[in-house]
Chain A
């Protein structure tokens, strides 16, 4: 049973560039949430996708956008990167009707220079 997978593992970008991160949910899950984790802090909710629509959004600017595909996989896009966007980006999947528990992938470490 495949767990949540994310790609790439690491990424280095320059300030002002754009980045796309990818996530495949755990088998049987239909909902994907994205979180940002800065060093020494807990994960912060960015947004959640269900049925290919953004269902809920945290306190992040419009530079952060996402997409969910018919196979439930998801992308997180960040435009006009700032140094402060350097963080671990985590994807979590869940089953909308089955449980409120969320399962995380290994994360993508983004460094903005």
Chain B
């Protein structure tokens, strides 16, 4: 079965620190890649997505992610985090060998200290 892994279960940063959250997916042919964020008590919101083209994609709220096909990775980055970025971050993949559904990673909880 196809799977998605996220490197860190819980990341704690101070405000203004740089962020990188890792995401790796198992080989599955053509894939579409997504990062979703879940703020406390809220629903999943799309941060950014990659389908094709430039492997460096920019999303909302200053987030970006880079697709590295050779490493099956799609890491999320932000140069300077804010307290309001405290949330759970989920990497998700779909594509030709994943079926119609999304396969989600286990999530990384980000805590930003003021």
Query: Is chain B found bound to chain A in the same assembly?
Result: no
B interface with A by C-beta (< 8 Å): none
A interface with B by C-beta (< 8 Å): none
